Structure 1
Amino acid sequence: MKSLLLDRTTWDLSLDADGNLAVCTEGYSILQDVASAVRTWSGECWYDTSQGITYDDGVFNGSTPVALLKSQAEAAALAVPGVASAQCVLIGPRSDRSLGGAIAVTFTSGETASVQF
């Protein structure tokens, strides 16, 4: 499966050497889709508002349990086609109230990889 390649810094579309939209192939495309799924808030995708991680006031003021955020990130990763299992490690919350982490993914093919978000 192919996906449009997103720039790792800006998370925006990128171009290939010929000036065309760059694409990535299976493996990396699944990891990119996992990272996108974890970065999506519930209701944010106008074409499918059921996608995304739920949020409430607790996410923004730091009172939401980290274990809940971790399980939601893992559930979002498991919703991506081609993912057999996912394990999330969160980094934060930081002083700027941001939260990041990494997800170790096992593909349905048995291969493993990880992606940061």
Structure 2
Amino acid sequence: MDTILLDPDSWDMVVDAAGNIAMATQPYAIAQDVASACRLFNGELWYDWYDTAKGVPYFEQILGKNPPLSLIKAEIVKAALTVPNVVSAQCFISAFDGRSITGQVQVVDTFGTQTVVSI
């Protein structure tokens, strides 16, 4: 499934050489959709039939709560698995410095492609 291509720095739409809205194709589209799912705050998905159950519970369970890393990883994996064609996901946290977490989500899609998404 294709998706609108987003600029990796600004997370805004970009245009192609012809001036049309650029589209991302597989496997990058899945990686971008996983990144979007992991950035989504619980309750903010209004365009998908108002499915406010999707998203990571950042306000409810993570931000300002100092939860165990296992909870953060589990919520990120749960979000990644909501992306169509993603069959498995693993989250790895490489650094937890103050209020910043860095790491990656490794996903496998229905085509057997493994993709690494930085978080």
Within the alignment, does 1:32 sit opposite 2:32 as a pair?
yes
Corresponding residue SS for 1:104? strand
1:102·1:114 contact (CA, 8 Å) conserved in 2? yes
| Map of 1:115 onto structure 2 | 117
Q: TM-score, normalised by structure 2?
A: 0.88
Gaps (5+ residues) in structure 2? none
The residue type paired with residue 93 of structure 2 is L
Q: TM-score, normalised by structure 1?
A: 0.89
Matched residues, number: 116
The residue type paired with residue 80 of structure 1 is V
Percent identity at matched positions? 42
C-alpha distance in 2, partners of 1:58/1:28? Answer: 30
C-alpha distance in 2, partners of 1:57/1:80? Answer: 22
Tell me the CA shift for residue 101 of structure 1: 2.1
| Map of 2:100 onto structure 1 | 98
Gap change, CA 1:81 and 1:57, over 3 Å in 2: closer
C-alpha distance in 1, partners of 2:76/2:52? Answer: 16
Tell me the CA shift for residue 20 of structure 1: 1.1
Tell me the CA shift for residue 98 of structure 1: 2.4
Show the 5 A alignment for 1:1-117: 1-46=1-46, 47-56=50-59, 59-95=62-98, 97-117=99-119
